[in-house]
Structure 1
């Protein structure tokens, strides 16, 4: 609109600045609306906290370890105070309150651990151990009394071991157990000391080495692995020297190269040329091109559809980073395909369709005609719908009150989206104590902004009665960049809910459990549409319905 209204009256720079201000206004309006919703949710959460309930989205209280003392030991702490610094900001105040909260939790844990320590020290005394040993001594006096025998004064009811002998043996067992535990602790300390020394040694070597040297070592190691796997596979023109990272010329003259110069480039435009050069030099020793076998090796270039494919045997030569995830070298294809010296072999394959001509005609009519085929919701197959009416129905479905108004978004919105998701991934990785998990969950974010786009599609409800047929609107985001984290959460939720008998897995599970249900005469059936709750409902509404 800014371009249409002002482009004829103002300069280009002024129009661009006004566009930026307009985008900023739209973003602030959207932020104001979202802020109002967050304030309402914050008020609802405060009410739940007053009732002693944890709001949705808040991290529940985790106990470091479970012990019966948590339920039996009374809490002496009736209240706790927080002293804030004078003129402290809200951020600093929240940090101080959080620190005070953690300190109180640690003090409560210290009380539990002190009680637990006293109990363990009492149970590990020699006298306590001996007493428990003596209590294990079997007494069978009642059993022998039934025999009506004359034992001539001997006590056969204790199986012949006096208490003083058993006590002496118990003391020996106690001493041996304590010594074994002490040796175990000593060995553990020695292992930890050895590991610490090894770690310090590695850190010292890293500090003394230059970054370029470390990079060359890492790249050389990857190239070693790639060439080893490539040279061990079948193929013509293999090089004899599998470990030498050099380019072999036909005349036998070798030239070494610095791998870091091939990978570390100054701009994105140089990535393709640098990587192609490095791959050419590393694969020349394994694919037979330009090797010293007198030209007998035949190189096999993988060129398909205007792209140069990478050899999978040297794929791990490329660093695992966002800039080197995928490569297309369409501009590197020579114009005279197959007119060189015969080294590269181009293969063009014509695709032959086995589709029936009537089917092909029908698909062409669906593509260019007024009607199209849309999948049905439950009946299977497709339904013929008018394309213009179908598109109008999809657009009309987006005008419901459950959706936010259209807002022009720019790159800052996507940046905020990614930052919030990255913070969540960091929390998941820290909680799982797995640093590699964070890289895996952020994998799709590195694929670009195409992962942020969602589509609105629909199925036709042909199972409804005539006059009630409509569309089932579906928000389709199969390539959503947060899908890895969603799958990780779903996997853990599924494991957590698998042993809950009151939850249903699917329809078959419902039918199976209904066979054992006894319904009383006073029972009531509550039914509500989960779609309405998911789109616009709240917990309070479900509670009112129930």
Structure 2
């Protein structure tokens, strides 16, 4: 406060921050324009998330300000400042108790609904359902031998039904206790919010202060305080006006909240009606189309960078190491496809990819589909290394095939002498899954070792790729093309199916005379919608998808 020129009386009502802001003005926002623009989407999302909280805070601040203004309008320059402060406090307590009374009444209504629902042995929405530690057929086969805890359990009741009955009876007793507590709170709040109680509190706060002034027995001459001129009846009249204004404000707030709840219920009902009008096939198509559109948008954003297509090297490495193809024709195929992005080339790309996946074994296809965020699958691809490893793999596959086959011993002896450095053709025969996994793990170990020593290589350009890009490309093609991959329950791999045939089979199963019409009330529809949201949230959590 040394550098301030304002007097002490002027500084008394001014905040320190305001004085400091006048002495040291804030810098302009021009130098940080680019950073501010880059943060605009994040700030917009933050504002959207904090909007309900800000609205509630604004309503609370407006309520407090209006009550204080009402008290000052009635009692300003009439009663002492201490009494005015006490009356403001009593008025704010009145508004708080009125709001608590409304919440208590809502809680009582909810408790009564829950009790009626529990009487029918149904767990209300929002309550934790009966939990089963583990699923076992004994829950439905064994019967409950005795009744305890004053709960009537019919004879020949299964353990599952017995647990449900006991759980509902327990919740029923708990809700009765909660209802008793809420009713007691309601009686106390109604007594505290009576008009006579409020007027008496205001009158007592005034009398205690005025009596202290009168006990001094002083002669104030012409400057006699207004507190000595006002009577108790005048204070009670003004307190009655403050009470009426506070009640009117609380009623307006309750009406506003009821209108908001009606709007939310109507919005929810409209959403349920739209869902009921759509078939399961339409909902499934809508979800898949949205996800495919998002993936295509992300892929377009990634491929818009300068330089070579990021899928080129990884695709060449993956195709060359899994199918035994040379890197040159594969690389040429990718470049031509990237240059001529018409329908014919796209169909050719799909055909080539499907031919490759059809020739894969279950472990290879599973490795391809599982590569993603959790399985980076880093590969180091250099033409010289790739050719050497491919030759080693071809020789190993031929040796394994002839060692397991039951052919002529002389023919086997010929293949046992495969020690030449010349090119060995790929083995067209499929081996057992255990050998496929062994070869894959061995190749991955070799590539990983080479990847760790990449700084000591003498090649001018080393092609380091990531298999996750190939997996994303393959999954994208399986989503957009006529053929899709479906997980099997036999070997843990994937099976390629025609999407049109699969959709037709699903629709035929839904159109069979298995499902009949069923009357559904509002609570059942809400339960179905809530279960659907839980399933979507679970899928989003498992797949780490923020949109779901």
Q: Please report the TM-score for the alignment, with normalisation by the length of structure 2.
A: 0.31
Q: TM-score, normalised on structure 1?
A: 0.31
Structure with bigger helix share is: 2
Larger Rg: 2
